[in-house]
């Protein structure tokens, strides 16, 4: 039982790689005692002129239905608060198109994530061969530069799974500390909210996004934090949340961020 926490990173079957009905995710959250959830399914990148090689997002024409379905579900809930979020890839050069599209929908929050580098989906389990043909130091530099650009774009409220480049356990030989320092500084500078995403625990990396060190640096810098399971199946809602709460406390956090209509507020970490 996970009492009174929030889960702001929940997918739906529309993205093509998640299972179950939206109502099943809400029921799972209610059973676990969550206070609030938010759907943040994959934004249709075709609207930005990018067609990923494998289907990983909802279709362009499904965005309106998605928004309506989340709002309908929210209205039907008695206890559980259901927020409308979306997870959008940061695609350099597409900022203005994206800003325009996002402004047409009543999102409570927008998660900015990076899953693609030059069209390669480095988070996709079927595309890990790409790590073996690349220089990992250059890859990490590129990834964290994109994270910084995404934060500075002002398009997003939350930066999603901020060190997901480690997902499959590929690390450069260099010291990683400068990446964590720079990333924490960019988050502080831009005022964007960090996400403690518990999905990494079940990936080959075997640890949350971000890792403890980066979480501690963000806490020291006063970067706000929210919590997400990145659930792609109802039973994954709130996964590892007792451990996540303990880690947040250890890292110095005493509150978590909530969003409504893209405005942030905070509640004490239960
Ligand atoms: Zn997904
Ligand atoms: Zn993601």
pLDDT at 48 over 90: yes
pLDDT at 162 over 90: yes
| Rounded Cα distance, 57 and 266, in Å | 30
Give the domain ranges of the chain.
6-268
CA of 175 relative to ligand 1 center, distance in Å: 30
pLDDT score for 221? 97
- Rounded to two decimals, what is the model's pTM? 0.97
CA nearest neighbour of 140 among 167, 121, 115, 166: 166
| Proximal ligand: closest to the CA of 88 | 2
CA of 161 relative to ligand 2 center, distance in Å: 7
pLDDT score for 206? 97
| Topology of the domain covering 6-268 | TIM Barrel (3.20.20)
CA of 11 relative to ligand 1 center, distance in Å: 7
CA of 220 relative to ligand 1 center, distance in Å: 30
CA of 120 relative to ligand 2 center, distance in Å: 14
| Proximal ligand: closest to the CA of 124 | 1
| Proximal ligand: closest to the CA of 57 | 1
| Proximal ligand: closest to the CA of 54 | 1
Q: Is the peptide bond prior to 254 cis by the omega test (within 30 degrees of 0)?
A: no
| Proximal ligand: closest to the CA of 11 | 1
Bridge partners of 138?
A: none
| Proximal ligand: closest to the CA of 15 | 1
pLDDT band at 193 (very low <50, low <70, confident <90, very high): very high
CB-count burial class (<10 Å; 0-12, 13-18, 19+) for 126 = exposed
CA nearest neighbour of 2 among 38, 28, 40, 39: 28
Which tens digit of pLDDT belongs to each residue from 108-138? 999 999 999 999 999 999 999 999 999 999 9
- What value does the mean pLDDT take over residues 236-257? 98
CA of 250 relative to ligand 2 center, distance in Å: 25
pLDDT at 53 over 90: no
Residue 267 CB contacts under 8 Å (≥ 6 apart), including other chains:
255, 256, 258
């Amino acid at each position: 039982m996970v009492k009174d926490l929030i889960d702001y990173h929940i997918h739906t079957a529309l993205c093509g790689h998640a299972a179950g009905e939206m109502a099943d995710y809400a029921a799972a959250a209610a059973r676990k005692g969550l206070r609030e959830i938010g759907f943040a399914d994959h934004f249709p990148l075709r609207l930005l002129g990018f067609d990923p090689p494998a289907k990983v997002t909802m279709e362009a024409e499904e965005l309106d239905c998605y928004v309506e379905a989340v709002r309908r579900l929210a209205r039907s809930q008695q206890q559980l608060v259901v927020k409308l979020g979306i997870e959008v890839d940061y695609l350099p050069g597409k900022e203005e198109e994206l800003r325009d599209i996002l402004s047409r929908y009543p999102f409570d929050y927008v998660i900015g994530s990076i899953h693609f580098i030059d069209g390669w989906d480095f988070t996709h389990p079927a595309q890990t061969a790409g790590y073996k043909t690349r220089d990992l130091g250059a890859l990490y530099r590129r990834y964290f530069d994109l994270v910084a650009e995404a934060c500075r774009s002002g398009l997003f409220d939350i930066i999603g799974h901020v060190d997901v480049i480690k997902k499959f356990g590929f690390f450069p030989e260099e010291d990683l500390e400068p990446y964590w320092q720079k990333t924490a500084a960019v988050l502080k500078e831009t005022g964007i909210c960090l996400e403690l995403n518990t999905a990494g625990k079940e990936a080959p990396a075997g640890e949350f996004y971000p890792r403890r060190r980066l979480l501690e640096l963000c806490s020291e810098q006063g970067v706000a934090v929210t919590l997400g399971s990145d659930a792609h199946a109802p039973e994954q809602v709130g996964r590892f949340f007792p451990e996540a709460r303990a880690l947040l406390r250890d890292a110095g956090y005493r509150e978590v961020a909530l969003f409504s209509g893209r405005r942030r507020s905070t509640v004490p970490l239960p």
